[in-house]
Structure 1
């Protein structure tokens, strides 16, 4: 079992059926939240950023490719077998350091600076740093790391940029952002005070060390990431130790309005009402359950509320469970056959990432 980025890189989306065919999967389900509508690059909007970008933590083959919405839950698959999977609240810690000990927090990974989808990030975030589902926060002072997981071209825009080779040495600097991403290197993009830090420390030939870790937000212990590790973002947390643990405010579904945005309507329509759902759970003996539920189709299936999703997962034997992306994204494929009926009128929705079960 592993997670797979749509199109193989962060930008772009692909249907669960297509990913299953491409990887030769026996089965597959859609996975975490992601950005739809990458042409909207405005903080405060419902969707903003790079189309297909995971809207939360993502680890593919042991490599951290997207930062966490800090404090939100995630599905951790430490081995390719799917055994010993866990569901934990996580944070990411990413830093860049110079040879003489200067360091700075890296506020984002493989995304456009200034756009924090679902909020919950680090640094000078506006209007707040707590999670807010389907809302984009801003930050004028960012330092973003762009790796080959983003593709061959870094996001364009104002700021300052330094390119590092595979050994972490600066090979190029420029005013403004954009250009190629080296196949084995990293591009650092700064805005505001992040750009100032790069100008001061990223001289040609200078060594810069970028480190990223995923941390259990409750025990504060780092997770061990091996080449078999997959991490998929999600929320809300449904079950812990066999009991429902729903906390909409903590997980980003607070009904309180933000800058006039109707959060109460979103809370009622998405959280309380029945919708298509995708969920993952871990049984007491360590098996992983993957669930999809059709919805929004009168005469076929209304779907489940979040509370009902937790109860269904508990009824199936899960002791720990997490809600994954749902709605029009919900899709399950078994042996090349799409199960159920997608809710979008246009059919199966292309998603940002997929959980695949391989032979």
Structure 2
């Protein structure tokens, strides 16, 4: 399952971003760390349990089992199962290199606290209108009712007239917007 879609190599129903939607891919290799919980999702496939150094300490013929508190689990489905069986032999070491990309650029990981926030679409860039709702998967032509609600945070708003102008402007530039939620901060 790929939340928000936007993967590669067989995601269904689309490989394009699709906000608040779950796509599927029958062939995946996923690393689960203790951050995900105590166990992996059960199902067909295979899993390799790794200690903190990346050494394979257990191989499971099905998915679903404990995630070690100081290690991880590589969980495979579809074609990825064969790769895992070939390369995750007991006692072997698997080096995992993690890269975080944004618009094709490698995002520096200075520490392990880097996280991803699900947000968007962008409305402005360098003070100019630059709405990315279509490109970022926030607008679904096949289901216009799915258009996401827009949350705006206004700081130091001093005029009702400004608020009315802002709301009119937003409705005019975002096709099909159904609802606005405003949080006002003094």
Q: SS state of the match for residue 7, structure 2?
A: coil
**Which residue does the alignment assign to 2:62?**
176
CA distance in 2, matches of 1:130, 1:306: 28
Work out which structure has the larger RCO, using CA pairs closer than 8 Å and 6 or more positions apart in sequence: 1
Q: Deviations over 1:196-251 (max 9, x none)?
A: 11011111001001121112315x23323325544422111122111221122101
1:233 aligns with 2:113: no
Q: SS state of the match for residue 63, structure 2?
A: strand
Q: TM-score, normalised by structure 2?
A: 0.77
CA distance in 2, matches of 1:228, 1:177: 28
Query: Which of residues 8, 14, 30 is equivalent to 1:144?
Result: 30
Contact kept, 8 Å, 1:216 with 1:223, in 2: the verdict is no
CA distance in 2, matches of 1:214, 1:129: 18
**Which residue does the alignment assign to 1:307?**
170
1:217 aligns with 2:103: yes
Q: SS state of the match for residue 197, structure 1?
A: helix
Query: Which of residues 202, 208, 211 is equivalent to 2:94?
Result: 208
Residues 1-359 of structure 1 correspond to what in structure 2 (within 5 A)? 115-217=1-103, 220-227=105-112, 229-257=114-142, 263-267=143-147, 270=148, 277=151, 307=170
CA distance in 2, matches of 1:266, 1:208: 42
Structure with greater proportional strand content: 1
CA change 1:203–1:230 in 2 (3 A) is closer
- More deviation in 203-212 or 245-254? 245-254
Dislocated runs of 4+, deviation >6 Å: none
CA change 1:227–1:306 in 2 (3 A) is farther
Q: CA deviation at 1:150?
A: 0.8
RMSD of aligned C-alpha atoms?
2.9
Q: Deviations over 1:315-336 (max 9, x none)?
A: xxxxxxxxxxx97xx999xxxx
Contact kept, 8 Å, 2:59 with 2:90, in 1: the verdict is yes
Contact kept, 8 Å, 1:123 with 1:142, in 2: the verdict is no
**Which residue does the alignment assign to 2:164?**
none
Structure 1 residues without counterparts, runs of 5 or longer: 1-114, 258-262, 281-288, 290-303, 311-325, 333-338, 340-359
Q: Deviations over 1:13-46 (max 9, x none)?
A: xxxxxxxxxxxxxxxxxxxxxxxxxxxxxxxxxx
